[in-house]
Structure 1
Amino acid sequence: MISSLQSLYDQTLYIAEHIQEASYEELVELADFRTEIVNKLQQTQVSEEMKAVIRLIGEYDDTILKRMQELKDEAATSLNKIKLHRMQKQKYEQAYNAESYFVDLRE
């Protein structure tokens, strides 16, 4: 189990050192790996050595969470732009059925 924690620490450290270049996929992979390790830890007795590694991993939480929030905000901004563009486009599109007919009854 300590090797899994050490692997998680190494991955966390790498992501933290390269946080601005970290992609969404890398952060999701790290989060999934952390979830897997937490689930395993709940089934085992945690030693002092493990607790020390967990504390080291926790030191990078703020940095990683900040980057995740930045990516979330970027995605929200992009989605809002797309939504606005669609709304503006609908205003200029035809508001009638193209297969319909117009009948002029004036003589």
Structure 2
Amino acid sequence: MEIVGRRWSSGILLAMAMGAERFTEIQHRVDGLSGRMLSVRLRELEEGGLVLRIVAPTTPVSITYRLSERGMDLLRSLQPIAHYARRWDPSVEEQRGAAASGSR
């Protein structure tokens, strides 16, 4: 839980769950995440058994990242929290209010 609670970790895991596999893909999907911090967090997530680092022996070397079984299981258990966050996010509430007032 300590790794997941660190800043950027859940965003990285979510980006990977949505299909991002390459370093730059993950970085682009998590707003504000620097390359250095992504590198640090990916190492921590890999050491924690949540992420797999796959090195393909091509020229140049191709590195991809995937959620491990443990990582996928963690994301399934975090879905209720993500649902809660979406439900009570102030920006989502504002969008709902604007949509409701526009439909009257």
The TM-score, its normalising length taken from structure 1, stands at 0.33
With a CA cutoff of 8 Å and minimum separation of 6, indicate the structure with the bigger relative contact order: 1
More helix by share: 1
**Structure number with larger C-alpha Rg:** 1
More strand by share: 2
